Structure 1
Amino acid sequence: MIIERNGCFLLQTLHTSYLFNILKSGHPEHLHYGASVISETQYEEFLKASSFGDGSESEAASICLNNICYSLSEKHPAAGGNMISYSDDFPGIALEDLPLEISSFGKGDIRDPFILVTHENGSKTSDFTFEKASITNDIQAPSSLPGSYDDSVKTSVGSSEDYAQQLVVTYKDKEYGTCLEVIYSVYPECDVITRRAVIVSANEKIHIDRIMSNQIDFHENGLVFTSFHGRWADEMHRTDSVCDGGRCVSEEMAAGESGSRSNPFVMISHKDTTEDSGYCYGFNLIYSGNHYEALSSNGYDKSRFISGISPATFGWTLDKGERFETPESIMTFDMNGANGMSRHMHDFVRKHIVRGKWRDKNRPILINSWEASYFRFTESSLLKLAKEAAGLGIELFVMDDGWFGKRDDDKSSLGDWYENKDKLPGGISGLSKKINDLGLLFGIWVEPEMVNEDSDLYRAHPDWAVQVPGHAHSKGRNQMNLDLTRTDVQDYVIESMKKVFGSGDISYVKWDMNRIFSDCYSKELPADRQDEFMHRYYIGLYRIMKELTDSFPDILFEGCSAGGNRFDLGILCYFPQIWGSDDTDAICRADIQRGYSYGYPQSTVGAHVSATPNHQTLNTVPLETRFDVASFGCFGYELNLCDITASDKKEIKDQIDFYKKYRHTLQFGHYYRLDDGRCITVSDDGKKAIAFMLQRESRPNRDVVTLRTCGLDDSKTYHITNRYVDIDLKTMGSLINMFTPIHIKQDGIIHNIANSVVKVQNEREDMTAPGALLNRVGVRLRPKFGSTGFDQDGDKTGILRTGDSRLYIIESV
């Protein structure tokens, strides 16, 4: 709901309020964003007001809104010492000490600016004041995607089925005539508000040095800025910084992608906020390029958050009458900690970012060939792997890198998108048919944004590669970026991918990008517009993605960029899921996926079970733990099923049967983070839940464990069991000699025979408890083995070694 009265604006969701008003000087004063400031009765009054306009029905609401705004507005009798007075007409206004909706440079606001432009005369001073506002009720929400544009980029969201309210506030620079539109959309059910900006040049040519998508000025400092950082194969580590002064920044300024180094999702909270209590804000950006998020504090107990395209590597020139639109920013708030905030963000991403056939559809269980064979495979070896997969209940076979050109390593053939007939004599068509005949869907790997110097494409079009003419170029993974700012390069990628995707019965595409950018330059851009390169690249990429997803609506696309280097909302607008990390070590993945969970639902995260010792860390992790961790995502396997033992195959088949039974809850349930790295996902109706617990360190004589849940229905009664897995006899080591009538030598003949027929009974949970008890107190689980008290004749003691885990099934009765 959006309502305006006498220069006061209220944007209201079910549980949050966003308020600002227009000062006499024309500047927009930000008053409040956070917990709702009106009651349910007042909410109904405001709904009437927004429906009936300025009639008598809305008089009470108008008075109420104006009173609220006056109560929240700051009352400054004069500018403070050592501040700039805005103007002779308004000497009491000092923009440095006002919370604002937008900020610029040159009139006294010396904080991080929302917008900075250079005018034809060289001045960077701007003065945007209120011109007009328009509210559109019950319209179809913006349905364009990132990259849909007229003469600039447009990044509004919303599917064609969604309806929302939109507020457009226009500000004008009184000196230069430049217009700045700030566009808000309200999604009440998700408690989400989106915001973006459009700048339109008027009487002159201007250069945009920076333009953000969002700005929130808080009336306090000492807030906690939470960002997520890492590196290749080690993404999404949470970092909390208290901003008492200065500036906290999360930025991807030069890599050319949203980045494993700094994800565009951030949070702002109070110091005492936890997962389940306290004020928590979540912010994200619908964009895949360089980004900037910053929280700064000044000496006047004010904090400013801004987010948008990173200004470090961005610039844009507008001729007279041209416009530029920023990517769209997402924001949400909850009073009940990070879990409450995450639930709003998850709902919004699932309903309004992800779209198409796969938005609400269960994802298939896949086997990917990469860690099974890397580049060394034949059609025969792939079919052998596929037959094993089909026999275990896997649904989708994915052929990874190495199938095209002369691709036997990572040094050649990117850009040459034709089959290697030595490996695939029947081509994609022949292989896909054979895979389908086994009862499996067929998928394929591509990396369309890249080119190797050793390729037919580079030899034919060296000018299509991103490099500075006449200068040495730095490569990554032996490859170069294609210049997607060029329409001819975009057309080549579109047509070559259409040929690939149409060459067989392809149900899934893994779209990879394995290097960041360097030496950014386009031969098609003049020297004074090279700072537009990176943004134009993503305009081109989004055009490619839209053309291909429109042409192949049934294909399930998964984004990938050396793992999670480009895990962002821009990609999710086209591809329903993204590979979470190239690190498939389950212990590492538990932390990585927990990091993603703050801003992204589990239905968007690709997660696989891989071999042990793990190929990235050489750690040895139990098969059950690898499954438990990967099950909280878009699930699959990435190991050579032809080489594993019969007992592992049996265990994998059991895992697949279990996952299929609870797949929808695991992929689309409401996700909550619990204590000690645990988590739970709860079905929409509250009748089913799966909880996860990881034993990071096993220590003796500490056997009591409490499982406290979140998100269950307090009024329901639940039955709690655990996913039961037999334990090998060898798990007990030489300790078995305490229980056997004869001495058994470790790894001897008797030991190996006994291990093949005898299993150690693990614990079996079987409890019934009210949801209120589970949510507020928790239940005591069966004791863990702690060097004493093991019940070798029953199933009352749990064996949880370091690296073991459990899944708990919680179902209403």
Structure 2
Amino acid sequence: MPITFDSQQNIFHLKNDYISYIIGIEKGKYITHRYFGKSLTSYHGSNELQFIDRGFATNPIPDERTFSLNALPLETSTQGNGDHRIPNYQIRNQEGFTITDFTYKEHRIYEGKRELEGLPYLRKDNTTSLEIVLEDERQTIQMILTYNLYENDAVLTRNARFINSGNQAIFLENAGSLLVDFPRWDLDMVTLNGSHTNEANLHRQPLHPGIQKIESSRGTSSPQHQPFLALANRETTEFSGEVFAFHFVYSGNFVAQVEVEQYGSSRVQIGIQPDTFEWKLDSGQNFQTPEVVINYSDQGFNQMSQNFHKIYQKNLIPHSFTDKARPILLNTWEANYFDLSEESLVQQAELASKLGIELFVLDDGWFGERNDDTSSLGDWQVNPAKLPNGIAHLAEKIHQLNMQFGLWFEPEMVSKNSDLFRKHPDWALQVPGYHLTEGRQQLVLDLSRVEVQNYLIDVLSGYLATGKIDYVKWDMNRHLTEVGNQTLPSDQQKELYHRYVLGLYRILKTVTERYPYVLFENCSSGGGRFDPGMMAYMPQTWTSDNSDALCRSVIQYGYSYLYPPVMMGAHVSDIPNHQVGRNTPLDTRGWIAMSGNFGFELDITKQTTENLQRITEQISWYKEHRELIQFGDFYRIQAPSETGATAWLFKNQEEALLVYSNGLARPAVPVQYLQTKFLDENAIYQDSTTKKYYSGSELNHAGILVPRIKGDFEVIAYHWKKTEISNK
């Protein structure tokens, strides 16, 4: 059994071929963290706990002055009785007291995994689960810590559930999902930070005494901070050393933090951001927290990424798209913006079909009076002046060109200048008496309200039920303000941020289950809500509104720490680039976009004959090698330098693709050889361009020469295929 309980030692051992996670029960009451790391054949307590009579310590057992909760390595915090480190939960009762005494009651070990009601989660394939039940007997409250071990992966998940079995309501002021105390602090904290159009910048800093944290209180996971942190040994590199990584499967406000405390341990805590949260639990009710994915690597950050890529592709995204190749698309946004007509769209589609494009996506501007971004969100009726024959007719014409048809929506938003807002002004998030803050002259619909959820489900279903729409781009272009409504009582208003996310998940679950073969692309001004919670419903995300090739090489590189390239929408756009004004070669734009989920976002009717020929060649090449890029293993070979030079590798059993981007050209560049590291050592590979032969071992260790490059923003790609020639 992958999870065992040793009643003599009071030890739980969660174990597979890759990892061990060990939990203890101390004094028959307190749940302690004993080990997380490389798989152990067995465990007998060699790293025993140390008990010291420390000054200023409080002691739950008066006669044992060496026993203090404030120095014990725990799996959940305590509240009000001696653990003064950052908490994983906080409960307030009717009397206003905020003390609890949760102690071990029982546990359950079982095959499979319990569903998390209303929340996304990793599927239960090949899992074994442990539930540890803790109880505060005085208030009759239970806290259940659940661990799900994936038997074939270096991954487990963790969540918490709170059950009020008492006679009075209680208030959850903090409902964290994960807490674990590491008995060391000589580690680096790694996060992905950024902003709109500059997402997923890698940041690494040594842990220091005190609290270091990232968080979002914007209503979404945000482009500012990915809901992820990792702890790595100081000497850990891309390819060697230990990494302990944590990723929150949630799309709203979050906190991820580490506290290095007085005796040198490091407490990791992740959960819903508590400053914008509270939840009233009446008698008999329960609250389920989202889950955290826990990932271990002893082979550096690249192996950490392999673990995330594999588990997300296999156990997170919708079943229908686990192994389904993604189509090459043309999106109308940067070509047309709001200037749409059926004639011009069909003209673009006819040319796109000749080029080999497989999916035509109509972006913003097709509905209501939407001639700019100041009106009509919420009025999801086609604009007859632009599309006199309707969406279904346009979709049919696209299908006749042997392409799929996609449509843009921004369902969560409403314009003040819209029929929907005039009819239902109370449907927008608002606080009575306060001004409604606008972003892009739009407001946010209150997705906590069932009638709003049902309206959006009906709108989307009305289009998708026609069977004419193959793809939906779901956008979300502003954060939440005035988070209040007039339907909840005053003591539940702080529930709204979380209720919003639950409402979003209900809409997504309902629509994607009704139409499982429609490809949904997640977007929030690019990467503003690129998180595992959204990926459970939408198998790909528009990675960033910044489509500049140089910027994208860095952004996609950062996101690759967590997500495989098939989940990252990447488009060839026009030059000068619309976000930064840079001119980059078409080949460069192509190779960067082909390193993700490939598409185009430009007016193809205005391209030169030479450019159209090159685009045709890019499309043809990508189709031939799509399986390699979308479903092969992905490896980062060279991190982005100060000049933007970077390299990455795709590999499967038969072929490999090495992409090198030079960024800004430099004089007197040192001789450089790129080592592929992961090719089959015993195979011979042939270069598809030069037809030269190389052994896998020489490419891995001697490397391939990077030729001298004159000029900025150039890309060199090396493609090799295995041959039958013997490696002797």
**Do the two structures share a fold, i.e. TM-score over 0.5?**
yes
Return the letter of the residue paired with 2:719: I
**Is this contact kept in 2: 1:209–1:316, CA < 8 A?**
yes
Q: Counterparts of 2:151 and 2:682 in 1: how far apart (Å)?
A: 26
**Is this contact kept in 1: 2:637–2:674, CA < 8 A?**
no
Q: 2:450 aligns with which of 472, 477, 487?
A: 487
Deviates more, 1:402-411 or 1:712-721: 712-721
SS of the aligned residue for 1:350 comes to helix
- Aligned position for 1:125: 99
**Is this contact kept in 1: 2:119–2:505, CA < 8 A?**
no
Change (3 A) 1:651 1:295: same
**Is this contact kept in 2: 1:671–1:679, CA < 8 A?**
no
1:266 aligns with 2:266: no
1:365 aligns with 2:328: yes
Return the letter of the residue paired with 2:298: M
Shift of 1:503: 4.2
Return the letter of the residue paired with 2:682: S
1:27 aligns with 2:30: yes
**Is this contact kept in 2: 1:377–1:423, CA < 8 A?**
yes
Shift of 1:613: 0.4
Return the letter of the residue paired with 1:221: W
Q: Counterparts of 2:370 and 2:83 in 1: how far apart (Å)?
A: 56
SS of the aligned residue for 2:294 comes to strand
- Aligned position for 1:467: 430
How high is the TM-score relative to the length of structure 1?
0.86
- Aligned position for 2:726: none
Q: Counterparts of 2:207 and 2:551 in 1: how far apart (Å)?
A: 29
**Is this contact kept in 1: 2:128–2:151, CA < 8 A?**
no
- Aligned position for 2:255: 292
Shift of 1:121: 2.2
- Aligned position for 1:780: 705
1:527 aligns with 2:490: yes
Deviates more, 1:643-652 or 1:697-706: 697-706
**Is this contact kept in 1: 2:413–2:444, CA < 8 A?**
yes
Return the letter of the residue paired with 1:332: N
Q: 2:82 aligns with which of 98, 104, 108?
A: 108
- Aligned position for 1:51: none
Matching of residues 204-353 of structure 1 within 5 Å: 204-252=168-216, 254-353=217-316
1:809 aligns with 2:713: no
Return the letter of the residue paired with 2:457: I
**Is this contact kept in 2: 1:609–1:627, CA < 8 A?**
yes
Return the letter of the residue paired with 2:433: G
**Is this contact kept in 1: 2:362–2:407, CA < 8 A?**
yes
Q: Counterparts of 1:229 and 1:417 in 2: how far apart (Å)?
A: 34
Q: Kindly name which structure, 1 or 2, has the bigger radius of gyration based on alpha carbons.
A: 1
Aligned length: 714
Matching of residues 421-500 of structure 1 within 5 Å: 421-500=384-463
Q: Counterparts of 2:578 and 2:267 in 1: how far apart (Å)?
A: 44
Return the letter of the residue paired with 1:780: L
Shift of 1:169: 0.5
SS of the aligned residue for 2:604 comes to coil
Q: 2:60 aligns with which of 70, 82, 86?
A: 86
Return the letter of the residue paired with 1:680: W
How high is the TM-score relative to the length of structure 2?
0.96
Shift of 1:91: 3.7
- Aligned position for 1:134: 108
Deviates more, 1:341-350 or 1:91-100: 91-100
Shift of 1:528: 1.3
1:729-787 deviation line (CA, Å, top 9, x unaligned): xxxxxxxxxxxxxxxxxxxxxxxxxxxxxxxxxxxx55422222222331334x32xxx
Shift of 1:633: 1.4
Return the letter of the residue paired with 2:49: E
SS of the aligned residue for 2:345 comes to helix
Change (3 A) 1:116 1:89: farther
Q: 1:710 aligns with which of 659, 673, 677?
A: 677
Q: Counterparts of 1:262 and 1:464 in 2: how far apart (Å)?
A: 29
SS of the aligned residue for 1:801 comes to coil
SS of the aligned residue for 1:189 comes to coil
Q: Counterparts of 2:677 and 2:348 in 1: how far apart (Å)?
A: 40
1:343-375 deviation line (CA, Å, top 9, x unaligned): 011101000101231221110000000000100
1:580-601 deviation line (CA, Å, top 9, x unaligned): 0000001001111011000111
Shift of 1:429: 1.1
1:403-444 deviation line (CA, Å, top 9, x unaligned): 011111111111111110110011001101111111111110
SS of the aligned residue for 2:436 comes to coil
SS of the aligned residue for 2:616 comes to helix
1:171-193 deviation line (CA, Å, top 9, x unaligned): 11243221100011111212110
Change (3 A) 1:358 1:156: closer
Q: Counterparts of 1:402 and 1:771 in 2: how far apart (Å)?
A: 51
> Structure 2 regions of 5+ residues with no counterpart?
641-645, 724-728
Return the letter of the residue paired with 1:502: A
**Is this contact kept in 2: 1:428–1:504, CA < 8 A?**
no
- Aligned position for 2:643: none
Shift of 1:676: 4.3
Q: Counterparts of 2:379 and 2:465 in 1: how far apart (Å)?
A: 16
Q: Counterparts of 2:556 and 2:715 in 1: how far apart (Å)?
A: 15
> Structure 1 regions of 5+ residues with no counterpart?
39-63, 723-764, 785-798
Q: Counterparts of 2:434 and 2:388 in 1: how far apart (Å)?
A: 41
SS of the aligned residue for 1:71 comes to coil
SS of the aligned residue for 2:392 comes to helix
**Is this contact kept in 2: 1:411–1:454, CA < 8 A?**
yes
Return the letter of the residue paired with 1:125: I
Return the letter of the residue paired with 2:676: T
1:9 aligns with 2:9: no
Return the letter of the residue paired with 1:423: K
1:174-227 deviation line (CA, Å, top 9, x unaligned): 432211000111112121100000011122321111121111211101311111
Return the letter of the residue paired with 1:506: I
Return the letter of the residue paired with 1:3: T
Q: Counterparts of 2:667 and 2:530 in 1: how far apart (Å)?
A: 40
**Is this contact kept in 2: 1:190–1:345, CA < 8 A?**
no
Shift of 1:707: 1.6
Q: Counterparts of 2:302 and 2:272 in 1: how far apart (Å)?
A: 27
Q: Counterparts of 2:157 and 2:670 in 1: how far apart (Å)?
A: 48
Shift of 1:522: 1.8
1:112-150 deviation line (CA, Å, top 9, x unaligned): 11111112222212221111111003x3x44x4xxx63x
- Aligned position for 2:695: 770
Q: Counterparts of 1:99 and 1:767 in 2: how far apart (Å)?
A: 57
Q: Counterparts of 1:31 and 1:720 in 2: how far apart (Å)?
A: 50
Return the letter of the residue paired with 2:76: I
- Aligned position for 1:680: 648
Deviates more, 1:404-413 or 1:201-210: 201-210
- Aligned position for 1:760: none
1:35-57 deviation line (CA, Å, top 9, x unaligned): 1222xxxxxxxxxxxxxxxxxxx
SS of the aligned residue for 1:530 comes to helix
Return the letter of the residue paired with 1:201: N
**Is this contact kept in 1: 2:120–2:505, CA < 8 A?**
no
Shift of 1:446: 0.5
- State the percentage of identical aligned residues: 37
Q: Counterparts of 2:320 and 2:70 in 1: how far apart (Å)?
A: 49
1:522-557 deviation line (CA, Å, top 9, x unaligned): 221111111100101111111111111111111100
Shift of 1:477: 1.1
- Aligned position for 1:537: 500
Q: Counterparts of 2:418 and 2:316 in 1: how far apart (Å)?
A: 36
